[in-house]
Amino acid sequence: MTDGNVSIKGVKDGLLVTLSQSEEWLMITRELAERIDEKADFFAGAQITVDLGARAVPKYELTSLKALLERRGLSLNIVLSDSQTTMDAADALDLRTTSAVHTPGREPNETLPINPEEEGTMGVLVKRTLRSGRTIHNDGHVVVFGDVNPGAEIVAGGDVIVWGKLRGNVHAGANGDESAIVCALDMIPTQLRIAGYITTSPTEKRREIKPEIAFIRDEQIVVEAWNK
Amino acid sequence: MGAKVITVTSGKGGVGKTTTTANLGVSLARLNKRVVVIDADIGLRNLDVVMGLENRIVYDLVDVVEGRSKLRQAMIKHKQFPDLYLIPAAQTRDKTAVSPSDMVTICNKLREEFDFVLIDSPAGIERGFRNAIAPADEVLIVTNPEVSAVRDADRIIGLIEAENKGPARLILNRVKMEMIKRGEMLSAEDVTDILAISIIGIVPEDENVIPASNSGVPVTLNENSRAGVAFRNIARRLNGEKVDFMSLDNSGGIFQRLTRLFAGGQGNE
């Protein structure tokens, strides 16, 4: 369903809407609205990932795009972008963000073939500290570049990697994948779950801060030093 | 040149937001700044009590918002400092009587005539909190060195970041050095390790605070109070001065020397 400025295609968990990087924003949003309205029933309730490429979309434009989708019963879930302005706007609106995979000028469908070994290993990169009350849910892997504070929660279908201190709740392999792992630079989660297993951190006071990895072995969660 | 609007908030209740707001208001007034303090805790007002102005209230914040009084009429002049005013909260209504944009409008009117506008936020993360931070140029988070208060502060910091009001600064209130030494209380390092924001002040636990609040004379007017010194230091930092953190050790003579020096006038600590 490509029409020059707006392309809509089905992806694993909803619809991927790719918007032209060069056409005027008003034209694009109008076109998008028309496209959705044509098949309102078909689109209703869909989770939208919008790819804005390198376009710098300020907060008010992104807000209007979000409102446009919500008025039509769609929810804007994830923003893909190469622009810092856009990423900041999405952050301010509490939207999930990911860097767009394509380079400017190349059509998104022309990306290089995916290495079969990496297929299905999609995920999100969260580039900030998750404070209390924050939750990240993703069917793929979750990578956090920052701390996960007590009261924050990560639920991932795949692995969870925290480049920082992990002190909140984390659930890897949430859909039942017992091969999932959790690793962090400092591993003191309030609660750690992998698939159907659950554990808590020891309460000892003075501990050495070191990167560790948690996984399932012999039907229980074990935590080992990273460089073992 | 307009006033700086500073919101004092915490998430958790009872950590000392109102005490902090009253003391910073008075301390800034003592530095000859023109200050308005606003009680945004509609329905549970008590900033007026702590500042000793309860019996002077005629109009309140909701009267201003709903057009029953002019802004000036609701501003109560402090007994001791002619450039310090309080806008009290209404006691009979709730948080929904005021909107975030009302708060922005009121603060914008105050900006021209004052140096600081301090807003005392209610506890919680709902409407009252949103009202309080809407006009803020800067946010001060008050927390106590205990896990539950720090957890709530963390949540609040996240919400403030999402509103692009950050980076907030932290006031660690009711610190007991003896308990920290025994490992029974979180230290400032423990707290900043989790919250990862800068500290603008550490206020020691002080028995003078409660009687001061009860009598409507903020503790910072008591020259011998350790908490009072800490609040004055925070006010000076808000005013752009560089002030070293005071020693929290009660045992050493250093602290008493500091208070004596301070009591002696505008001397260096």
Mean pLDDT lowest for which of A104-118, B100-114, B178-192? A104-118
- The residue in chain B having the minimum alpha-carbon distance to the alpha carbon of residue A165 is B194
pLDDT of residue A223: 93
Q: Counting beta carbons within 10 angstroms of the beta carbon of residue A181, is it exposed (0 to 12), middle (13 to 18) or buried (19 or more)?
A: middle
Q: Is the pLDDT of residue B67 over 90?
A: yes
Secondary-structure percent of chain B, ordered helix, strand, coil, rounded to 5: 40, 15, 40
Decide if B231 contacts B21 (C-beta within 8 A): no
Q: Does A135 touch chain B (CB under 8 A)?
A: no
Mean pLDDT lowest for which of A27-31, A110-114, A216-220, B237-241? A110-114
Band (A219; pLDDT cuts 50, 70, 90):
very high
Q: Which of residues 113-152 of B touch A (CB under 8 A)?
A: 147, 151-152
pLDDT of residue A3: 57
Q: Does B48 touch chain A (CB under 8 A)?
A: no
Provide, rounded to the nearest whole percent, the portion of chain A with pLDDT above 90.
Answer: 38
Chain A residues whose CB is inside 8 A of the B159 CB are 133
Element of type H or E holding A171? strand A169-172
Record the tokens describing residue B77, joined without a space.
Answer: 């002049």
Q: Which of residues 154-193 of A touch B (CB under 8 A)?
A: 167
Q: Is the pLDDT of residue A189 over 80?
A: yes
Mean pLDDT lowest for which of A218-222, B18-22, B242-246? B242-246
CA distance B35 to B118: 8
Q: From residue B62, give the alpha-carbon distance in Å to each of B39, B84, B180.
A: 11, 20, 43
Candidate from A94, A129, A132 with C-beta closest to B155? A132
pLDDT tens digits, residue range B238-248? 999 999 988 77
pLDDT tens digits, residue range A145-168? 999 999 999 999 999 999 999 999
Cβ <8 Å between A147 and B157: no
Candidate from B159, B162, B196 with C-beta closest to A129? B196
Q: How far is A86 from chain B (nearest CA, A)?
A: 15
CA distance B164 to B138: 10
Q: What is the average per-residue pLDDT within A101-126?
A: 56
- For chain B, what is the mean pLDDT? 91
Cβ <8 Å between B154 and A132: yes
Band (A111; pLDDT cuts 50, 70, 90):
very low
Whose tokens are 């998008």? That residue is: A32
Q: Counting beta carbons within 10 angstroms of the beta carbon of residue B67, is it exposed (0 to 12), middle (13 to 18) or buried (19 or more)?
A: exposed
Chain B residues whose CB is inside 8 A of the A206 CB are none
Amino acid residing at A95 = L
Mean pLDDT lowest for which of A112-116, B121-125, B164-168? A112-116
Amino acid residing at A157 = G
Mean pLDDT lowest for which of A86-100, A188-202, B21-35? A86-100
Q: Is the pLDDT of residue B166 over 80?
A: no
pLDDT of residue A117: 54
Record the tokens describing residue B171, joined without a space.
Answer: 């006031």
Q: Which candidate, B50, B32, B53, B11, places its Cα nearest to that of B235?
A: B32
CA distance B100 to B98: 7
Provide, rounded to the nearest whole percent, the portion of chain A with pLDDT above 70.
Answer: 87
Residue A109 CB neighbours (<10 A): 10
Residues 6+ apart with CB under 8 A from B40: B61, B89, B98, B103, B119, B120, B121, B122, B128, B131, B132
Provide, rounded to the nearest whole percent, the portion of chain B with pLDDT above 70.
Answer: 92
pLDDT tens digits, residue range B217-233? 999 999 999 999 999 99
Q: How far is A135 from chain B (nearest CA, A)?
A: 12
Better-predicted residue by pLDDT, A179 or A74: A179
CA distance A17 to A3: 12
Q: Which of residues 187-226 of A touch B (CB under 8 A)?
A: 205
pLDDT tens digits, residue range A18-63? 888 878 888 888 888 888 888 887 787 888 888 888 888 888 888 8
Q: Does B183 touch chain A (CB under 8 A)?
A: yes
Chain A residues whose CB is inside 8 A of the B155 CB are 131-133, 151
Candidate from A91, A94, A149 with C-beta closest to B154? A149
- The residue in chain A having the minimum alpha-carbon distance to the alpha carbon of residue B158 is A131
CA dihedral for B27, B29, B34, B40, sign (positive or negative): positive
